[in-house]
C-alpha cells in the first residue's frame, strides 16, 4: 500500500511526483516531570507536569514529472495531519524547520519534521452533534486519556452547563444565540470574536474521563455539539 499523509484535508497522493518514502513511527509523548529530593525521606518526590509536544520525522522523495511549486506550499503549513499508518487519527502540527528543497530536487529525497502536540484525535468523530436538547446526554471519550473538548452551544438566555453532576459553566446568551467554548485553550468565542466575558466557570474542570460522561443543563438550549471528544497519547 502506498504511504500518504493528509494535511488540512489535502491528500499527498494527489500531488504530482511526491512520494512518501518513510512514515514517522507511532510513539508516545514524553511526560514532563519535576524530581525533588527531601532530606530524611527515602526516594524522590516526582511531580508530573504534563505531556510535551514532540517531533515526528518523515522521509519524502520525488519521482517522474514532479511539480515542486505544488509540493513547497504543501509542506509550508500548519494545522491537522493524518499519517497513513494511523488513518483514523489526526495530530495538530506545525512545520517549523527549514526544508532543503535544493537537496530534494538534486537527490530526490528529503526529511520533513512535524512538530506535533502530544495528543491525537479521532477522524471518525470530528464533530459529534446531539439531537436531544431537552435532557442530559451521555458523551463518550473513546480514547485512552482524558480529553478537553470544544463545545458548540446555541440557545437563548442563561444556560448552566454541568459535567457528571457538577455545574461548571454559566453561559450568557442574551446578546448572541451561539457560543463556542474551547476548554483546552480556556477561551470562549463566536466565530472570530472573543466571548470570554459571557462564560463564567471552570475550564480546567471540564475534563472528559475515558468512557461515559453525563452532560446536563438548565435553560433554553437548542443545539449542542462537541469536537475533540476522544483523545489518545
Q: Does 4 have pLDDT greater than 90?
A: yes
- The predicted pLDDT at position 104 comes to 85
Cell 452533534 appears where? Answer: 129
Confidence tier at 178 by pLDDT (50, 70, 90): very high
Q: Does 133 have pLDDT greater than 80?
A: no
Q: Where are the alpha helices (DSSP H) in 59-146?
A: 68-75, 101-107
Q: Which residues pair with 172 in a beta bridge?
A: 158
The Cα–Cα gap between 76 and 150 comes to 27
**How many Cα neighbours within 13 Å face the side chain of 206?**
27
CA distances from 148 to 65, 108, 185, 211, 233 (A): 45, 41, 9, 14, 13
What letter would DSSP give residue 108? S
Domains within the chain, CATH numbers bracketed? 5-118 (2.40.30.200), 128-232 (2.60.120.860)
- For the chain, report the end-to-end CA distance as a whole number of angstroms: 26
pTM of the model: 0.85
Closest CA to 205 of 149, 143, 158: 149
Closest CA to 122 of 26, 225, 228: 228
The Cα–Cα gap between 219 and 10 comes to 41
- The predicted pLDDT at position 26 comes to 95
Region 9-28: mean pLDDT is 95
Cβ neighbours for 112, distance < 8 A, ≥ 6 positions apart: 57, 58, 59, 60, 75, 95, 99
Amino acid at each position: 500500500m502506498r504511504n500518504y499523509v493528509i494535511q488540512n484535508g489535502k491528500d499527498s497522493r494527489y500531488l504530482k511526483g511526491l512520494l512518501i518514502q518513510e512514515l514517522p513511527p507511532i510513539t508516545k509523548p514524553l511526560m514532563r516531570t519535576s524530581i525533588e529530593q527531601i532530606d530524611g525521606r527515602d526516594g524522590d518526590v516526582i511531580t508530573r507536569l504534563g505531556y510535551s509536544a514532540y517531533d515526528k520525522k518523515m522521509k519524502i522523495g520525488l519521482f517522474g514529472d514532479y511539480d515542486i511549486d505544488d509540493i513547497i506550499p504543501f509542506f509550508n503549513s500548519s494545522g491537522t495531519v493524518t499519517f497513513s499508518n494511523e488513518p483514523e487519527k489526526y495530530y495538530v502540527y506545525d512545520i517549523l524547520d527549514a526544508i532543503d528543497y535544493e537537496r530534494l530536487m538534486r537527490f530526490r529525497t528529503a526529511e520533513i519534521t512535524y512538530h506535533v502536540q502530544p495528543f491525537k484525535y479521532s477522524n471518525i468523530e470530528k464533530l459529534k452533534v446531539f439531537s436531544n436538547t431537552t435532557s442530559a446526554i451521555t458523551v463518550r471519550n473513546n480514547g485512552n486519556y482524558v480529553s478537553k473538548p470544544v463545545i458548540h452551544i446555541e440557545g437563548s438566555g442563561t444556560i448552566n452547563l454541568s459535567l457528571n453532576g457538577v455545574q461548571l459553566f454559566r453561559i450568557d446568551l442574551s446578546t448572541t444565540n451561539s457560543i463556542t467554548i474551547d476548554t483546552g485553550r480556556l477561551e470562549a468565542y463566536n466565530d472570530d470574536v472573543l466571548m470570554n466575558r459571557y462564560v463564567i466557570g471552570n475550564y480546567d474542570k471540564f475534563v472528559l474521563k475515558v468512557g461515559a460522561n453525563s452532560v446536563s443543563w438548565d435553560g433554553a438550549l437548542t443545539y449542542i455539539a462537541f469536537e475533540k471528544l476522544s483523545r489518545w497519547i
